[in-house]
Structure formats: C-alpha cells, structure tokens
C-alpha cells in the first residue's frame, strides 16, 4: 500500500464534521465496504478526500429510498479512491431513473389523494379513501392497502 501524506487525507473527526455523518456511521459504512480508510502508523483511520463525494452520494441515495445494498452495488462501479467522473455518475443515474420515476409517481398519488380529503368536511365515509369500515382492507393483505403500490412495499432493514 502506498504511503499517503497525512495532509492529503482526513481523520474520522474531519470526515464526520465535513459530511454530517456520525463517526459511528462512518465506521459502519466502512464495515459494509461503502467507504474505505487507510490506517496511520498509530492505527488511526485516514480517509482520502474523495470519501466526501462518496458520502454525499450515500446521503442522496438514502434520501430517495435506495437500500444500502443498492448503494453498495452502485459504489462498486465507481473508482474506490478517486473522485468519480461525470460519466460514472451518469451511468449510475440511468440505472435508477425508472426506480425514481416510480417513487415520484407514488408520492404524487399519495399527495393528490390526501389533498382530496384533508379538511374537506365531506363527512362521507363511503367515499373517503382513508376510511376502512369493517376492516374491508384486510382482504387486500398486510400493510397499508390504500397507499399507492410503491409506498406499500416493505421497507428494508436498517
């Protein structure tokens, strides 16, 4: 392994402060193989500066609902110790386009459904999409049966 100047790397404290992730999250992501650190002579973690870009990517991916497995799959296609190029990001974003479009459509359907009942005062439980008299939704299976299909999908384990 090449020896890297301490000035070219960041400590876990620096990365935590710059990225907004807790040190425990950085160690967890390292165990999962999402990020990597070198060790100093004293055994302390030293991160390449490119880790900040990877962490920004992880944060964005998690905010749009990607699982850590999906994040890992995407990151495995990127250079491990270098800042990814525009072409790298374009390839990954293309693979997520359908997934994100499905998520957007589900959220729009949820928003539009809520707009029609919140504060409307219709008092019609027969037409209300939120009401479930006699637990009729039980026949549809487990979960929130009245949500758009995409939003009914089980959430991944943390």
CATH number of the domain at 71, please: 1.10.1660.10
Residues 18 and 49 occupy one common structural domain: yes
Residues 102 and 46 occupy one common structural domain: no
Per the structure, the complete domain to which residue 6 belongs is given by 1-84
Q: Which of 40, 58, 84 is the last residue of a domain?
A: 84
pLDDT digits (tens, 9 = 90+) for 128-154: 555 666 677 777 777 666 667 777 676
Please report where in the chains the tokens 């479009």 appear, as a residue.
101
Decide which of 27 and 101 is more confident.
27
Closest of 70, 53, 61, 65 to residue 103, by C-alpha: 65
Q: Which of 84, 110, 129 is the last residue of a domain?
A: 84
Residue 89 lies in a domain: no
pLDDT digits (tens, 9 = 90+) for 59-75: 988 887 788 998 898 88
pLDDT digits (tens, 9 = 90+) for 71-95: 898 888 877 666 678 888 788 878 7
Domains in the chain: how many in total? 2
Residues 105 and 138 occupy one common structural domain: yes
Confidence (pTM): 0.65
């Amino acid at each position: 392994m090449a020896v890297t100047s301490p000035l070219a790397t960041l400590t876990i404290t620096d990365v935590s402060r710059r990225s907004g992730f807790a040190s425990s999250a950085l160690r967890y992501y390292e165990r999962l193989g999402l990020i990597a650190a070198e060790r100093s002579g004293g055994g302390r973690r030293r991160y390449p500066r490119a880790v900040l870009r990877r962490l920004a990517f992880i944060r964005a991916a998690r905010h749009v609902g990607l699982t850590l497995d999906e994040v890992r799959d995407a990151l495995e296609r990127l250079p491990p110790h270098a800042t990814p190029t525009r072409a790298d990001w374009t390839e990954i974003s293309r693979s997520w386009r359908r997934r994100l479009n499905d998520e957007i459509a589900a959220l729009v359907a949820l928003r539009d459904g809520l707009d029609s009942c919140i504060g409307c005062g219709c008092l019609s439980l027969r037409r209300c999409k939120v009401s479930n008299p006699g637990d009729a939704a039980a026949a549809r299976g487990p979960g929130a049966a009245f949500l758009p299909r995409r939003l009914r999908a089980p959430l991944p384990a943390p």
